[in-house]
C-alpha cells in the first residue's frame, strides 16, 4: 500500500477502535491554520486533530494524527514501518463535557492538546514510555485552576496509567500503537515527584491505578500523597 492507502486504513482502524468504546463524534477538533505552519511542532502527516468519544461513564478526548503514517512515506524507506510517533494521547473525564464549543474551551482539552504537542516534538516518546512505563512531565498553557500550577505556571501530568475502559494498544496499518493515558496530577503530587524523582513517580502511579477512578482526570480528586 502507498501513503494514502495506509493513511486511510489507519484512520479507519482508529475510528473503529473508538466506536467500540463509545459514541465517536463525527466532527473532530482541529485548527483553521495548522500550528506547524507557524513554528509549532509538525505532526507526522501534518494533520492535527482530536476526537471526542462519549462513554457511559464520561467523555474521552484523544489526539488523532500522531499515529498517521509520515507524509514522506512513499519517498523515505526509513519511515515505512511506522505509524507516526507510535502513540495517541487521551484524557478520560468522569463527566459529559457538553457541546462542541464547550469541549474546545475545557481544561481537559487544553491538557490533552498540550500533551499531544509535546509528543509531536519528541518522536521517541513511545520508546521513552516503553522504557519507564510511567512518565511525568509539566505542561504550559493549561486552563486548570491556579491551585494545580507550580511556581512556573506549569501543571503536572502522568503519562501511561492503565484505564478501566480504554485498551493500552490498537493495531493500525503499519504497527501496533500505544494509547497513552494523560492523568492530571495535583500540585502536591507534582511537588512530590519533583523532590523525590522516579521512585515517587512509580509510587503515585501505583496509588492512582488502585483507585476506582483509575485513568480519569477530575479537579476534585484527593491527592494520593
Q: What is the pLDDT of residues 12-36, one digit of tens each?
A: 999 999 999 999 999 999 865 555 5
Average pLDDT, the chain: 94
Note whether residue 67 is domain-resident.
yes
Task: Give pLDDT, residue 17.
Answer: 97
Task: Give pLDDT, residue 95.
Answer: 87
Note whether residue 18 is domain-resident.
yes
What is the tens place of the pLDDT at every residue in 73-126?
Answer: 999 999 999 999 999 999 999 888 888 889 999 999 999 999 999 999 998 999
Say whether pLDDT at 201 is over 90. yes
CA angle 32–8–56, rounded 5-degree value: 75
What is the tens place of the pLDDT at every residue in 138-163?
Answer: 999 999 999 999 999 999 999 999 99
Residue position matching grid coordinates 507516526: 84
Give residues with Cβ within 8 angstroms of 11, minimum separation 6: 64, 68
Q: Which domain holds residue 66?
A: 3-130+159-184
Residue position matching grid coordinates 466532527: 27
Note whether residue 225 is domain-resident.
no
Higher pLDDT, 181 or 164: 181
Note whether residue 41 is domain-resident.
yes
Note whether residue 197 is domain-resident.
no
Note whether residue 138 is domain-resident.
no
Task: Give pLDDT, residue 99.
Answer: 86
Task: Give pLDDT, residue 35.
Answer: 52
Q: How many domains does the chain have?
A: 1
Instruction: Go through 181-200 and write b for each residue having 16 or more CB atoms within 10 A of its CB, e for each that does not.
Output: bbbbbbbbbbbbbeeeeeeb
Say whether pLDDT at 48 is over 60. yes
pTM of the predicted structure, to 2 decimals:
0.94
Note whether residue 195 is domain-resident.
no
Note whether residue 193 is domain-resident.
no
Task: Give pLDDT, residue 37.
Answer: 47
Amino acid at each position: 500500500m502507498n501513503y494514502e492507502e495506509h493513511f486511510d486504513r489507519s484512520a479507519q482502524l482508529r475510528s473503529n477502535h473508538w466506536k467500540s468504546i463509545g459514541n465517536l463524534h463525527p466532527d473532530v477538533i482541529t485548527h483553521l491554520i495548522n500550528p506547524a505552519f507557524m513554528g509549532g511542532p509538525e505532526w507526522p502527516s501534518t494533520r492535527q486533530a482530536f476526537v471526542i468519544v462519549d462513554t457511559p461513564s464520561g467523555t474521552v478526548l484523544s489526539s488523532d494524527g500522531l499515529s498517521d503514517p509520515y507524509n514522506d512515506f512513499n519517498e523515505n524507506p526509513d519511515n515505512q514501518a511506522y505509524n507516526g510517533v507510535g502513540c495517541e494521547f487521551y484524557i478520560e473525564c468522569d463527566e459529559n463535557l457538553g457541546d462542541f464549543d464547550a469541549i474546545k474551551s475545557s481544561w481537559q482539552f487544553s491538557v490533552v492538546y498540550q500533551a499531544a504537542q509535546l509528543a509531536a516534538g519528541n518522536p521517541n516518546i513511545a520508546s521513552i514510555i516503553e522504557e519507564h512505563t510511567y512518565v511525568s512531565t509539566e505542561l504550559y498553557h493549561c486552563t486548570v485552576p491556579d491551585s494545580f500550577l507550580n511556581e512556573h505556571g506549569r501543571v503536572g501530568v502522568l503519562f501511561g496509567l492503565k484505564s478501566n475502559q480504554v485498551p493500552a494498544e490498537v493495531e493500525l496499518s503499519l504497527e501496533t500503537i500505544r494509547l497513552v493515558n494523560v492523568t492530571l496530577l495535583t500540585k502536591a503530587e507534582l511537588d512530590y515527584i519533583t523532590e523525590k524523582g522516579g521512585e515517587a513517580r512509580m509510587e503515585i502511579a501505583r496509588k492512582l491505578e488502585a483507585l476506582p477512578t483509575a485513568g480519569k482526570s477530575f479537579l476534585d480528586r484527593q491527592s494520593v500523597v
